[in-house]
């Protein structure tokens, strides 16, 4: 049996004096991390948090956020992280839907979230995670006064560990139920594929509220160091790599593209880097080639989903990142099935397709979620005979490399964030000037993909792109809002009047290599 709570527990036993976590002015050895996790776990128990209870948390990356995952796991509670980019109504929906009974807020989010408490009646306790705010309960005070003894709770590897919300085609986020075994399967698989030595470090950049949390767990499982970046600040990323002598970083292609063009990049010593991994959105081959030449480190790609707990469905190894000549065509591939996954391509009747034919990508493995929270109908639709139907379309070559083609559900991935068009379209339709609209992905040099809206205005009505974008911002997180709005006289439709989103998308993607990451 192995659970998230075992990571600091085993680390303290095997590597007590090695550094485990570095964040701003905080430096923790494995022994110190274990002690703080135990104190927080016992404090949660003292506040009435029981096995199976949901622990909500919203905030940017921090040592305190990471500790909360482990503390909740040790007492069998379930961490329900929230994307801090969401709008207030979205935060309220997720907290209420998750049935969180306690809510933690990180630095700069305390007052905003506290003001929403009257809309979240199920939350019994509100706690500030990183600093003291007025008379609100402060996590550090709890840690300082709670005992450091190991919590005596029997937690099973198949128990729910994390309830992570992802965008929904119905317009509302849906909760993905991830067990300890789901998460640790992907982590152990990654460690076997790309071994980490004790003392090696990762520069942790992507949000802890995402399944992109996996590098933190991978390095702590192996005696490595997690150097946490609060949010993607390019100077801070480069400083951390240099000062902490990081061997690894995981990021979305957008961040690598920013670093490539960053004027100060050559002022830092990045010679410690040996592996740079990426996932989440398209990586234009020419930009990838430039990054490989610039950073002089191995690159590895992973393709996965929230539903696979961050564990890769497929991966493109460093050896397959070939710049020129035979094999260079693999740079637009998502690689071969990972150690923990089986992958297949099927048609609409569920028949397995031969190499070269396009169909839906399905994955099977112990890293695949338990299902969607309080949504058995959707769970039954995507989990069939142990196979997770991703909704992504692709093909495989004779050697088993996966090539992604398009998203069956038209999901947009912008800067590593998932956006579902219908959710945005519903908000646009609420504007009095909008007659019809379609939201699609469009290529974007900065974000990989951007949210692109096409709008048909009502007769005798006027609106500007800026006006409609501001309208969206009142109801949606900023990353979900259109970056650009085009006004058309009409949108293409089927004979029965259904908008052909694929035809709209084609108008923006024609001439580009691919329309999916």
User: In whole angstroms, what separates CA 158 from the centre of its chain?
Assistant: 22
Last residue of a domain, one of 302, 324, 345: 302
Domain of 473: which CATH number? 3.30.300.30
Q: Please state the domain count of the chain.
A: 2
pLDDT band at 447 (very low <50, low <70, confident <90, very high): confident
CA distance 207 to 306: 13
Strand, helix or coil for residue 155: coil
- CA separation (Å) from 466 to 460, 473, 481, 489? 19, 11, 11, 19
Q: Which residues contact 196 (CB under 8 A, 6 or more apart)?
A: 218, 219, 222, 223, 224, 248
Does 361 map to a domain? no
Query: Same structural domain for residues 139 and 257?
Result: yes
Last residue of a domain, one of 271, 302, 333: 302
pLDDT in tens, 25-59: 999 999 999 999 999 999 999 999 999 999 999 99
CA distance 189 to 197: 15
Query: Same structural domain for residues 203 and 66?
Result: yes
pLDDT in tens, 297-307: 999 999 999 99
Q: What is the 3-state secondary structure (H, E, C) of 242-294?
A: HHCCCCEEEECHHHHHHHHHCCCHHHCCCCCCCEEEECCCCCCHHHHHHHHHH
Instruction: Kindly report each contact of residues 321-325 with a partner whose C-beta sits within 8 Å and lies 24 or more positions away, as own/partner.
Output: 321/288, 321/292, 323/289, 323/292, 323/293
Provide the β-strand partners of residue 81.
57
DSSP-derived secondary structure letter, 17: T
Give mean pLDDT, residues 166-187: 86
Query: Same structural domain for residues 263 and 142?
Result: yes
Query: Same structural domain for residues 422 and 275?
Result: no
CA distance 289 to 265: 17
The closest alpha carbon to 277, from 313, 236, 318, 334, belongs to 318
Does 320 map to a domain? no
pLDDT in tens, 334-390: 999 999 999 999 998 899 999 999 999 999 999 999 999 999 999 999 999 999 999
Does 61 map to a domain? yes
Which of 369-373, 448-452, 470-474, 509-513 has the lowest average pLDDT? 509-513
Q: Which residue has the tokens 């305390």?
A: 110
Element (H, E) at 112: helix 110-114
Q: Which residue has the tokens 């142990």?
A: 386
Query: Same structural domain for residues 297 and 416?
Result: no
Does 370 map to a domain? no
Report whether pLDDT(434) > 60.
Answer: yes
CB 113 within 8 A of CB 105: yes
**pLDDT higher at 288 or 103:** 103
Domain of 80: which CATH number? 3.40.50.12780
CB 67 within 8 A of CB 33: yes
pLDDT in tens, 113-137: 999 999 999 999 999 999 999 999 9
Does 311 map to a domain? no
Direct distance between the N- and C-terminal alpha carbons of the chain, in angstroms, rounded to an integer? 35
Q: What is the largest CA-CA distance in the chain?
A: 72
Q: Which domain holds residue 496?
A: 412-509
Last residue of a domain, one of 302, 325, 353: 302
Does 38 map to a domain? yes
Pairing of strands 125-128, 137-138: parallel
């Amino acid at each position: 049996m192995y659970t998230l709570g075992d990571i600091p527990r085993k680390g303290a036993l095997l590597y007590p004096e090695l550094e485990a976590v570095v964040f701003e002015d905080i430096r923790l050895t494995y022994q110190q991390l274990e002690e703080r996790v135990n104190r927080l776990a016992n404090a949660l128990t003292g506040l009435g948090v029981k096995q199976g209870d949901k622990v909500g948390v919203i905030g940017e990356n921090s040592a305190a956020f990471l500790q909360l995952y482990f503390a909740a796991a040790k007492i069998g509670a379930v961490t329900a992280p929230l994307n801090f980019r969401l709008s207030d109504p979205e935060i309220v929906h997720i907290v209420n839907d998750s049935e969180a009974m306690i809510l933690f807020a990180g630095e700069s989010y305390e007052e905003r979230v506290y003001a929403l408490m009257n809309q979240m009646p199920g939350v019994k306790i509100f706690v500030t995670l990183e600093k003291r705010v007025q008379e609100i309960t402060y996590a550090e005070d709890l840690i300082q006064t709670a005992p450091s003894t190991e919590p005596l709770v029997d937690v099973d590897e198949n128990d729910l560990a994390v309830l992570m919300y992802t965008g929904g085609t119905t317009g509302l986020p849906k909760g993905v139920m991830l067990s300890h075994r789901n998460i640790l399967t992907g982590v152990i698989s990654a460690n076997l594929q790309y071994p980490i030595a004790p003392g090696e470090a990762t520069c942790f950049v992507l949000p802890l509220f995402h399944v992109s949390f996996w590098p933190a767990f991978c390095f702590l499982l192996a005696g490595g160091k997690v150097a946490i970046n609060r949010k993607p600040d390019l100077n801070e990323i480069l400083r951390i790599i240099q000062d902490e002598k990081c061997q690894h970083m995981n990021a979305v292609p957008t961040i690598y593209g920013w670093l490539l063009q960053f004027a100060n990049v050559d002022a830092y010593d990045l010679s410690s880097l040996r592996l740079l991994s990426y996932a989440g959105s398209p990586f234009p081959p020419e930009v990838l080639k430039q990054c490989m030449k610039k950073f002089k480190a191995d690159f590895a790609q992973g393709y996965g989903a929230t539903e696979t707990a961050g564990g890769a469905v497929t991966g493109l190894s460093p050896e397959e990142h070939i710049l020129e000549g035979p094999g260079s065509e693999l740079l637009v591939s998502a690689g071969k099935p990972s150690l923990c996954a089986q992958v297949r391509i099927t048609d609409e009747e569920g028949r397995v397709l031969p190499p070269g034919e396009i169909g839906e990508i399905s994955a099977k493995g112990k890293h695949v979620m338990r299902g969607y929270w309080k949504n058995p109908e959707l769970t039954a639709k995507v989990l069939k005979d142990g196979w997770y139907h991703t909704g992504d379309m692709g093909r495989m070559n004779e050697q088993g490399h996966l090539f992604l083609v398009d998203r069956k559900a038209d999901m947009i991935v912008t800067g590593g964030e998932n956006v579902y068009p219908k959710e945005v379209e519903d908000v646009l339709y609420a504007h009095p000037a909008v007659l019809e609209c379609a939201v699609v992905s469009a290529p974007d040099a900065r974000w990989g993909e951007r949210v692109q809206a096409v709008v048909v205005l009502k007769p005798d009505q006027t609106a500007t792109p800026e006006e409609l974008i501001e309208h969206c911002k009142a109801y949606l997180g900023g990353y979900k809002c259109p970056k650009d709005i085009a006004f058309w006289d009409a949108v293409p439709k089927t004979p029965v009047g259904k908008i052909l989103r694929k035809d709209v998308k084609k108008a923006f993607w024609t001439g580009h290599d691919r329309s999916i990451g």
